[in-house]
Structure 1
Amino acid sequence: MKRWFFGVLGAAAILAAILPKGTEAAVLVPEYIYEWVQSTARQSYYFNKAQMHYGVKDGIVDLNILVVPTLRTYDAIQIQDVVSKRRWKQLSLDGYDGLVGAAEYLTLNLKEGTVRITQHDDLDQDWGTIFSDKRSDEEPIRLANLSDKDVDGKFYQAIIAYANAHQIEIASRTNGTLTEADKKILEAKRKEWSKAQYEKDHPEEGNQHGAKDKKDNKKKNRT
């Protein structure tokens, strides 16, 4: 778990000593690693954009499977709620005096429209794992069953939207081989993106082409 926050642990140790309890997580989440999606009254939701990748089977990249580490930071009330539930279940509370949030691994099947939470880790103020719960047998969540107002549903949809906009980047960090068909799909998207970026960086050329087209149309109408 600590590898997710490599490079910020030293700062965490210093700031944890001077910040009010419950504020460390919100301050120390590195933006270049984590994408913030939303905050509720009790939690803030992030996903790890630097380590999200596609699934791989037999060395072949599957663009329909997305593996995403996520992070949720808690406020004081949510922390107390987690601790109270563990106490009620008579589970160990060792380390929970430093609880700041949780990390979860998600596996999204984009084709089937499902999400699996394969692992849940409770985190302390140094971003170390207090408790880890692997959930390989858990039933998948069907996105179609979540309402538009569902907080988790909004979170999952934001991850999918980001992945759709960064397919080439995510594929490049996935340790596997793309099929020829998928290579063509991504190459077409790369060209489309490059064209859009060029037009954005050179708006004057677009205006010139537009003016030329108008002149050509006028000439055609006269004839």
Structure 2
Amino acid sequence: MALILLLETTTINCSVALAEDDKVIAIKEDKTPGYSHAEKLHLFMEAVLAEGQKELLDLDAVAVSKGPGSYTGLRIGVSAAKGLCYALNIPLIAVDTLTSIAHQYQSLNFSSGYVIPVLDARKMEVYTSVFELKGGALTPLSNVEAKIIDENSYAELKANRLFVGDGVQKIEDEILDQENSIFVQSLPSTQEMAKIAFDKYKISDTEDVAYFEPFYLKDFVIKKKKKA
């Protein structure tokens, strides 16, 4: 049995879980606006280990949501994961954030069609990709991209569509073609990471701890203060 610590810090949700194989046995989250990750991430790690009656030395791997998402959140989560893996000499598993969000279809009773995870980016942009759900299998149809939303976005997708993520409001407010569409405002969570991480663990799909970097998708931009 594999014991995997899961970390999700790409949005305002500071989420930590402990999983035995693909089953979450303890989870701790804080979705308070303002990003509490730096203060709470390690406290949450201690909490889920205590709840699961495990210790750090019991861990077989650490999985981290790799992005895209908040630059600062990604740095905090990935730095913590790399530090643990290096100190414990265990594998690092990277989970694509949009793939993780797409797996929320399971708790939303969505059975077939397109699953479109959307994370809020700048202005009218979202980080997004498209998956097709057919026969219980989720298949990626596009690469992750930073997409500017307009009235014709996603018009080519004619079947049932599930939009899920914290960028959903931009989609719902902007696009004209909303037929056969479901909009669910949500945040990525470690709850959906467990199966993805365990599947990667089984085939040794792991990262080089020394060289792994988050998937930012876009360069970090420092905003200059306006002159008085």
TM exceeds 0.5?
no
TM-score (norm: length of structure 2): 0.25
Determine which structure has the larger helix proportion and give its number: 1
